[in-house]
């Protein structure tokens, strides 16, 4: 036991600097050192949303089934009550699940019986005050009974080790983010580093000014949001794609509209070798002013709306006030052909007329793109 406990403790000293396998090995040793067959570490936001979790010796299929059962029923798992206990207090199922609770949570407990996780030792802690809380669980079969005194002591010691390891990891991430933002400030570049939940981890000086003004971007419950409701849906979609694990997009461009003119936000996933914690920067949002040239404006319209090069050129000419017949002559096509191209452009830009298209482009790109 002592040898296992010492190995588990040493693994937590190395974990902040380790690859994902190092954290997983530490969780496995935590299970072994407490006489358990499996273990989980779950991070909860201040609103008790699950931010992420690691597990050892638990099938991903079991986790997937458990999460599917919990959908729509946030109190389906009675073990979440351990989050209400004092920090670092060792909790066992009997401490938080009464006979009435066993009847109320019968479906959950039946599932845990089936996967031989019917008894758990739990401890919650917050490595950094007022941020995420962590729940460390070591899993047994109920037939094994309560944890022994030695196992409880080992779990308490290792929980303190986990808290220290995560706190060190957070400090390393904060230092890395500070260095990155310092480089952005030197380059006078407005950008934000964003974590998995859409919260800014670090903000350059220029981006801070843009965020503080509240004209284009703001924070809602700590999460980045568009100030203009018309831009919010696009920003949400872009963040969901880029912040997914793994990312579903190599990069997204969003138009942030405001009365003063549009700002462009380019969101790009960041490469990372370690599995991110809730504080890890996983994406970069670069803020750019209105477009400066016709060529850049055309490329942006192609990217934003999926226009072809020809469609983008037509759209820009319409926005500059050119008549359809004059544009048809310029492009050496019939008026009917040009109107057909306009119909396709309207559909892609979600507008219904030339006037709406012109307003949309001017609002999106500003007027300075005109050569």
Model pLDDT, residue 147: 87
Confidence of residue 179 (pLDDT cuts 50, 70, 90): confident
Q: Same domain, yes or no, for 271 and 138?
A: no
Q: Same domain, yes or no, for 95 and 136?
A: yes
Q: Same domain, yes or no, for 147 and 28?
A: yes
Q: Averaged over 195-213, what is the pLDDT?
A: 87
Model pLDDT, residue 71: 57
In the predicted model, is pLDDT for residue 138 greater than 90? yes
Number of domains in the chain: 3
Model pLDDT, residue 305: 82
Please report, for the domain that includes residue 355, its CATH number. Answer: 1.10.10.10
Confidence of residue 359 (pLDDT cuts 50, 70, 90): confident
pLDDT tens column, 208-232: 888 888 889 999 988 999 998 888 9
In the predicted model, is pLDDT for residue 93 greater than 80? yes
Residue whose structure tokens are 């207090």:
89
Q: Same domain, yes or no, for 10 and 98?
A: yes
Model pLDDT, residue 270: 87
> Is residue 178 situated within a structural domain?
no
Please report, for the domain that includes residue 125, its CATH number. Answer: 3.30.450.80
Q: Same domain, yes or no, for 129 and 203?
A: no
CB-based burial, 254-289: b 16+ in 10 Å, e otherwise? bbbbbeebbbbbbbbbeeeebebbbbbbbbbbbbbe
Model pLDDT, residue 90: 92
Q: Averaged over 71-95, what is the pLDDT?
A: 80
Please tell me the least confidently modeled range out of 99-108, 176-185, 186-195, 325-334.
Answer: 176-185
> Is residue 371 situated within a structural domain?
no
Alpha helices in the chain (DSSP H): 2-14, 20-33, 60-70, 93-96, 99-104, 106-114, 149-186, 205-213, 229-243, 294-305, 309-319, 324-331, 335-349, 354-365
In the predicted model, is pLDDT for residue 66 greater than 60? yes
Q: Same domain, yes or no, for 160 and 278?
A: no
Q: Averaged over 360-370, what is the pLDDT?
A: 65
The residue with greater pLDDT, 39 or 75, is 39
Highest mean pLDDT among 3-12, 42-51, 142-151, 341-350: 341-350
In the predicted model, is pLDDT for residue 345 greater than 90? yes
In the predicted model, is pLDDT for residue 142 greater than 80? no
Model pLDDT, residue 124: 92
In the predicted model, is pLDDT for residue 320 greater than 90? no
Model pLDDT, residue 277: 65
The chain-wide mean pLDDT, for the chain, equals 83
> Is residue 249 situated within a structural domain?
yes
Is 41 in a helix, a strand, or coil?
strand
**Length reported for the chain:** 371
Give percent of the chain with pLDDT exceeding 90.
Answer: 27
Q: Same domain, yes or no, for 224 and 332?
A: no
Tokens encoding 298: 């055309």
Residue range(s) defining the domain that contains residue 75: 2-171
Confidence of residue 290 (pLDDT cuts 50, 70, 90): low
In the predicted model, is pLDDT for residue 329 greater than 60? yes
Model pLDDT, residue 96: 85
Q: Same domain, yes or no, for 98 and 37?
A: yes
CA 364, CA 371: separation in Å to the nearest integer?
17
Task: Tell which of 114, 144, 171 closes a domain.
Answer: 171
In the predicted model, is pLDDT for residue 58 greater than 80? yes
Q: Same domain, yes or no, for 133 and 11?
A: yes
**Which residues have CB under 8 Å from 220's CB, separation 6+?**
none
The residue with greater pLDDT, 269 or 201, is 269
Residue 131 burial (10 A CB sphere; 0-12, 13-18, 19+): middle
In the predicted model, is pLDDT for residue 188 greater than 70? no
In the predicted model, is pLDDT for residue 137 greater than 70? yes
């Amino acid at each position: 036991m002592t040898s296992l406990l010492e190995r588990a403790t040493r693994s937590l000293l190395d974990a902040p600097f380790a690859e994902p396998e190092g954290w997983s090995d530490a969780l496995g040793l935590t299970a072994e050192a407490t006489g358990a067959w499996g273990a989980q570490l779950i991070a909860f936001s201040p609103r008790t949303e699950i931010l992420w979790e690691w597990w050892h010796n638990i099938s991903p299929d079991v986790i997937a089934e458990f999460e599917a059962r919990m959908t729509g029923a946030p109190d389906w798992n009675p073990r979440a009550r351990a989050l209400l206990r004092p920090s670092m207090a060792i909790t066992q199922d009997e401490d938080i699940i009464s006979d009435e609770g066993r009847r109320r949570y019968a479906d959950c407990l039946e599932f845990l019986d089936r996967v031989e996780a019917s008894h758990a030792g739990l401890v919650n802690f917050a490595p950094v005050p007022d941020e995420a809380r962590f729940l460390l669980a070591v899993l047994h079969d109920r037939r094994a009974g309560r944890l022994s005194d030695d196992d409880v002591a080992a779990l308490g010691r290792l929980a303190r080790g986990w808290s220290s390891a995560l706190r060190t990891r957070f400090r390393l991430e904060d230092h890395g983010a500070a260095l990155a933002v310092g480089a952005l400030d030197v380059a006078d570049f407005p950008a934000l580093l964003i974590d998995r939940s859409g919260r800014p981890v670090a903000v350059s000086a220029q981006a801070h000014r843009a965020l503080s003004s509240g004209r284009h971007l703001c924070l809602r419950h700590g999460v980045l949001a568009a100030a203009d409701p018309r831009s919010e849906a696009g920003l949400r979609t872009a963040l969901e794609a880029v912040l997914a694990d793994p990312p579903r997009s190599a990069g997204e461009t969003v138009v942030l509209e405001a009365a003063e003119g549009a700002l462009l936000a380019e969101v790009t996933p960041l490469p990372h070798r370690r599995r991110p914690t809730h504080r890890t920067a996983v994406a970069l949002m670069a803020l750019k002013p209105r477009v400066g040239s016709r060529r850049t404006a055309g490329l942006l319209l192609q990217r934003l709306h999926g226009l072809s090069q020809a469609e983008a050129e037509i759209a820009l000419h319409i926005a500059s006030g050119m008549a359809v017949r004059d544009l048809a002559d310029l492009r050496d096509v019939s008026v009917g052909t040009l109107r057909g191209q306009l119909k396709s452009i309207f559909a892609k830009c979600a507008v219904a007329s030339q006037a709406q298209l012109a307003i949309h482009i001017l609002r999106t790109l500003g007027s300075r793109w005109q050569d």
